[in-house]
Each structure stands twice: as C-alpha cells, then as structure tokens.
Amino acid sequence: MYPNTIEEHGSFSYSDHRPIIVSSDITLNIQKAFPFRFQNFWCKCHPVDTIIIKNWRGNFTGTNMFNFAKKLKTIKHKVKGWSKTHFGNLHDKLAKNTQKINYIEDKLLSNLESF
C-alpha cells in the first residue's frame, strides 16, 4: 500500500519495549559521513596530549578567530588519523557489535516465545 515505507525494529537493550520506526522517506538509506566527536577515552592516551600540544603551538596568518579555528581543525584531523590507525574504524566496530546484540536479542525473544 505504501511502497516507499521503511519499517525498522529497534533493540530493547535499554528497555523492555522495542520501538518500531516507520519512515516514508526512502532517502534514509543514504549514508553520510559521521560528524567528528571527541571520544573521552582518548584523554587517557598519551599520544593525544602530544598531538594537541604540538598542533596548538602552530601559528597561522590571519585573525585570532581564524587561528583558533585553524588550530582546532588541524587537531581534529590529526586526532582522527591517530584514532583510525590506533583503534581502527570505531563506527564499523560499533555497527558490528550492534548487529551482534540484535542477533542475541532476537535469539532471546525466540526462546521466550517457544515457552
């Protein structure tokens, strides 16, 4: 009846209810680049301190705000590169672990239904 409708069942990891997500926008399947998010556990890694200190000392020509933005951008790229080489792709690992959790939850549900 609704050909462009997508239905997805959420996990019940945090609740005893499973949300049902229904969307009529077919463009939801297009993956976009993840925005940069500083991970708190990076603070415990010594190389991150070194990367931040080294790149914060750099000077760029321009206004103070331009210098500030350029330093943050440089640090972001350096930390992202370090994280990828040190930990790998965290988003892929998170997605794989989410799939494993969903698989286990489905098995638990099927075992509960068989009782």
Q: Report the C-alpha gap between 2 and 24 in whole angstroms.
A: 8
pTM: 0.54
Q: Please write the tens of the pLDDT for every residue from 35-79.
A: 888 888 888 888 999 999 999 998 888 899 999 999 999 999 999
Q: Report the C-alpha gap between 71 and 57 in whole angstroms.
A: 8
Q: What are 12's two structure tokens?
A: 């019940």
